[in-house]
Structure 1
Amino acid sequence: MFRKCFLVAVGAVMQGFAMGVFLFPNFIPSGGGAGLTVLLNYWFHIPLSIALWLVNSSMLLFAVHYLGGFSALGTLLGITITSISVNIFNVYLESPFSHVWIDLVFGSIFFGTGVSILLRQGISNGGMGVIALIIAKYKNISPGKPLFWINGIIFLITSYVIDWEIVFQAITCQWMSTKIISWLYNVSIPKNIRNILTFDFVWRN
C-alpha cells in the first residue's frame, strides 16, 4: 500500500510540474478534461473552477463503478496532489526556456511520464484518463491510444473556442505524451530496481 501511494504521489507531482511550469503558462491544455471545462464555460457560462470540478467528479463516478473504490480514491488523491503541485510550481518556478515549442516538448515528456506512473498503479490522472483506463481494462490494451483519440476529438471541438495554434500545440502535446505513456505503461522494470525506486522497506518484528 505504501508503495502504491508513494508512486501515485510521484506521478501526480510530475504531472503537476509539467502543467505548472511548461504547459499552462503557454495556455496549452493538458488533456480532454481541460477542453471539456472550456466548452462548459463557453456554452453555459459555468465558472472554470466549477466546470473543472464537475468534469473530474463525473469521471470519478465512472471510476467507482467500473474500476473499483481503490481506483476512485487513488484518482482523488492524484487529482488533489496534482492541483496542489500546479499551484506551487506555477508560483515558484519558471521555465528556463523562452520558446513555446521547447516548453511543449519538456512538458509532454514530464506529463506523459507522470500519467504513465499513475496508470501503472491502476489510477487515473483524472478527466478523460478514467475513460481511457476503463477501455484499456476491458479491451486489454494500453490506455495511451484511447486517451489520444478521446482527447484529440475534444481538442477539435474546442477549436471553435480557443485559437487554432493552441489546439495544434495541444494535439502535438497529446501525441508526444501518449507515445510516452504507451511505452512506459508496457515496459518491464526488474524487481530489484523497482524495490529500490519505491523504497520497499522490510519491517522486522
Structure 2
Amino acid sequence: MKNVIEWIKKLNKNKKFKLIISLGMVIISALLQVYILQVFMTPCDLISGGFTGIALFMNKALKLIHIDFSTSLGILLLNIPAALLCVKGISKRFVFLSSVQFTLVSLLLQSLEFKPFFDDMVLNILFGGVLWGFSISLALRAGGSTGGTDFIAQYVSNKIHKGIWDYVFYFNCVMYVCYGFMFGWIHAGYSIIFQFLSTKTISSLYQRYEQMTIEFTTSHPQKVIDAFMLSCR
C-alpha cells in the first residue's frame, strides 16, 4: 500500500502525466459544451455568455440578412486573436489548453449531432445552465479555460488575485439586452437565467481565489516568508 501511495505521489509530480490529465479534462469539457449547445440551448434559442455567445448571436443575426455564418467559424475568429494577445500575460500552458478546448468545440460542432433531450424550456435552462458552468469549471480546474472572456477573466484574476465571474455575468447581460431587442425578450430573459446558473456553478466549483487567513508566530519571520513564497511559485 505504501508503494502505491508513493507511486501516485510521483505521478502527481510528473509534468507529462499532469498535462495528459489536463488534456483529458479539456476534451471532456469541449464534448460537454457541444452536447449542451445542441441538446439544451439550440431548441430554446438560448445564447451563452462570452465569445461563444457572441458567435451564436452573430449566426442568428446574419441569418436575418440571409448570410450563413458558421458558429464554429465565429468561435475561432473571436478566440484566436484573444489567445495571441494574452499569451504573454498568461502562462503558455493555460493558453495552450484553452486553445485546445475552443478549437475542439468548433470542430465537434461540425462533426457531432445530438438530439434534444427535454421538450420543456425550464428543464433545458436548469440542466443546461448548471452543466455549462460545470464544463467551464472543468476546463479551469485543468489549468485552462474555454477561451473568450475566460482569457480576460483569468488574466485579470491573476493580477488582482480575486475571481471576477460576477462581473463577467454583468458584462454578458449587455449582450443579452441587444439579443432581446433583436430576437425577443423572452429568449433574452431565459438566456440570462441560463448564464446566471452557469456563473453560480463556476463560483461554487472553482474557488482558486478564495481568501483564507494563516497566522504564524515565529522569531524568524523572514525565513517563513521566504519559504512560503517559494512554495507558491
Q: TM-score, normalised by structure 1?
A: 0.77
- Selected match of 1:61 from 77, 81, 84: 84
For residues 147-158 of structure 1, what are the structure 2 equivalents within 5 Å?
Answer: 147-158=168-179
| 1:121 aligns to 2:145 (yes or no) | no
Give the 3 Å change call, closer, same or farther, for CA 100–9 of structure 1 in structure 2.
same
Look at both structures and tell me which one has the larger radius of gyration over its CA atoms: 2
- Selected match of 2:133 from 95, 106, 112: 112
For residues 24-35 of structure 1, what are the structure 2 equivalents within 5 Å?
Answer: 24-35=42-53
**Contact 1:119/1:133 (<8 A) preserved:** no
Post-superposition Cα deviations, 1:125-170, rounded to whole Å, max 9, x if no partner, equal: 1222221222222221234323212222222233333221111111
Moved more, 125-134 or 176-185: 125-134
**Contact 1:8/1:117 (<8 A) preserved:** yes
Give the SS at the match of 1:30.
Answer: coil
State the superposition RMSD in angstroms: 2.5
Identity %: 23
Give the 3 Å change call, closer, same or farther, for CA 149–122 of structure 1 in structure 2.
farther
**Structure 1 residue ranges, 4+ long, deviating more than 4 angstroms after superposition:** 39-43
State the match for 1:164 in structure 2.
Answer: 185
State the match for 2:103 in structure 1.
Answer: 80
Alpha-carbon distance between aligned partners in 2 of 1:101 and 1:69, rounded to the nearest angstrom: 40
Give the 3 Å change call, closer, same or farther, for CA 62–124 of structure 1 in structure 2.
farther
Give the 3 Å change call, closer, same or farther, for CA 59–174 of structure 1 in structure 2.
same
Instruction: Give 1:41 shift.
Output: 8.0
Give the SS at the match of 2:88.
Answer: helix
Give the 3 Å change call, closer, same or farther, for CA 58–16 of structure 1 in structure 2.
same
Give the 3 Å change call, closer, same or farther, for CA 139–153 of structure 1 in structure 2.
farther
Q: Looking at both structures, which has the greater relative contact order when contacts are Cα pairs under 8 Å and sequence separation is at least 6?
A: 1
Alpha-carbon distance between aligned partners in 2 of 1:88 and 1:47, rounded to the nearest angstrom: 18
| 1:174 aligns to 2:195 (yes or no) | yes
For residues 184-195 of structure 1, what are the structure 2 equivalents within 5 Å?
Answer: 184-186=205-207
Instruction: Note the residue ranges of structure 2 that are not aligned, 5 or more in a row.
Output: 1-18, 209-233
| 1:19 aligns to 2:19 (yes or no) | no
